[in-house]
């Protein structure tokens, strides 16, 4: 009886909220109340998710109804896990590069190979990197452009989009790339882009379509869709802005197909904690 009551309460609350252009697919379980990364992975039937800092180092495999089917303990520390991506072989990359104060010197990406996804505990490889243009830890407030919550895999490289911590310029993102293999690297600066100025413009997740023709950047207020770019100059292409018209702490985006993305948000102040679908 209690479960039935909770179910109808959930339906009532969903019907009372306006999700704008987002279509709600599922209410995420409480184990993912601070979801920070979502990824659809080749050779896997699950939607994979992670939580950010302060949570256990676990990969969660969910079905399309938002139910956790698989949990994998990752043998690496969750300093500040911020996004997920994967390659054509089904290997998963966890971006441990959250850097709110811009003072971290241990930025990394954790590699979980596809054959580890059948296990309960996953051995990993580590990519370590630094930014080529950061010399102080932390830098002055006017130079705090080295936080990051977003990346994706493309053609053997990982592309990292920074999140600005500079007042009045929160919508600036800088794109870097590093090789998608174990090692220590200095990231290569690719390009920059600025959307708007307020902190709802922070870039919190990114993805590229399977055919490599569309790139999406997520913020709390919109999705930026880039097309007609050349090579990896993603931010120089045409850009379309999709205003989401629903205020929540949106943290992750992944392509379901070339015209559809999945989005998740953190549960906070009676909002969020859901899995959504968006046509782009």
- Give the pairing type, strands 172-179 and 157-163: antiparallel
Q: What pTM, to 2 d.p., does this model score? A: 0.93
Q: Tokens in use for 225?
A: 């869709």
pLDDT by residue (tens digit) across 136-158? Answer: 999 999 999 999 999 999 999 99
Cβ distance 246 to 274 under 8 Å? no
Domain for residue 149, yes or no?
yes
pLDDT by residue (tens digit) across 23-43? Answer: 999 999 999 999 999 999 999
- Whether the pLDDT of residue 231 is over 80: the answer is yes
CA distance 19 to 145: 31
What are the beta bridge partners of residue 93? Answer: 85, 111
Domain for residue 9, yes or no?
no
Domain for residue 53, yes or no?
yes
- Site of tokens 């943290």: 251
How far, rounded to the nearest angstrom, does the alpha carbon of residue 235 sit from its chain's CA centroid?
Answer: 17
pLDDT band for 218, please (50, 70, 90 cuts): very high
pLDDT band for 18, please (50, 70, 90 cuts): low
Query: Within 10 Å of residue 189's Cβ, how many Cβ atoms?
Result: 13
Q: What CATH number corresponds to the domain at position 121?
A: 2.120.10
How many CA atoms are closer than 13 Å to the CA of 275, on its beta-carbon side?
A: 25
Domain with 178, as residue range(s), is: 22-279
CA distance 66 to 2: 20
pLDDT for 269 equals 77
pLDDT for 6 equals 46
Cβ distance 192 to 175 under 8 Å? yes
- Which element (helix H / strand E) includes 229? none
CA distance 188 to 80: 22
Domain for residue 108, yes or no?
yes
Between CA 138 and CA 107, with CA 222 as vertex, the angle to 5 degrees is 30
pLDDT for 19 equals 79
pLDDT for 109 equals 98
What is the mean pLDDT of the segment spanning 160-167?
96
pLDDT for 9 equals 47
Domain for residue 16, yes or no?
no
Domain for residue 1, yes or no?
no
Overall domain count for the chain: 1
Domain for residue 14, yes or no?
no
pLDDT for 1 equals 59
Domain for residue 137, yes or no?
yes
- Whether the pLDDT of residue 10 is over 50: the answer is no
pLDDT band for 17, please (50, 70, 90 cuts): low
Percent of the chain's residues with pLDDT above 70? 94
pLDDT for 36 equals 98
pLDDT band for 199, please (50, 70, 90 cuts): confident
pLDDT for 196 equals 84
pLDDT for 271 equals 86
Percent of the chain's residues with pLDDT above 90? 88
**CA-based end-to-end distance of the chain:** 40
pLDDT band for 131, please (50, 70, 90 cuts): very high
């Amino acid at each position: 009886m209690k479960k039935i009551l909770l179910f109808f309460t959930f339906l009532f609350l969903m019907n009372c909220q306006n999700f704008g252009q987002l279509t709600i697919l599922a209410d995420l379980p409480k184990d993912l109340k601070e979801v920070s990364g979502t990824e659809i992975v080749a050779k896997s039937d699950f939607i994979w998710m992670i939580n950010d800092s302060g949570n256990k180092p676990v990969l969660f495999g969910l079905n399309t109804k938002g139910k956790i089917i698989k949990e994998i303990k990752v043998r690496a520390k969750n300093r500040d896990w911020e996004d997920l991506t994967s390659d054509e072989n089904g290997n998963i990359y966890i971006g441990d590069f959250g850097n709110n104060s811009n003072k971290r010197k241990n930025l990394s990406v954790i590699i979980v190979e596809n054959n580890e996804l059948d296990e309960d505990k996953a051995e990993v490889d580590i990519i370590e990197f630094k930014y080529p243009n950061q010399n102080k830890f932390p830098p002055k407030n006017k130079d705090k452009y080295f936080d990051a919550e977003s990346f994706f895999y493309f053609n053997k490289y990982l592309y990292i989009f920074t999140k600005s911590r500079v007042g009045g310029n929160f919508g600036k993102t800088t794109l870097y790339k590093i090789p998608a293999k174990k090692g220590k690297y200095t990231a290569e600066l690719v390009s920059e882009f600025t959307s708007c100025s307020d902190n709802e413009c922070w870039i919190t997740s990114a993805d590229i379509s399977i055919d490599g023709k569309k790139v999406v950047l997520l913020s709390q207020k919109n999705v930026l869709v880039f097309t007609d770019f050349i090579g990896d100059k993603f931010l120089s292409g045409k850009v379309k802005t999709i205003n989401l018209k629903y205020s929540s702490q949106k943290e992750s985006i992944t392509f379901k197909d070339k015209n559809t993305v999945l989005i998740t948000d953190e549960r906070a102040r009676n909002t969020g904690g859901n899995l959504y679908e968006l046509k782009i």
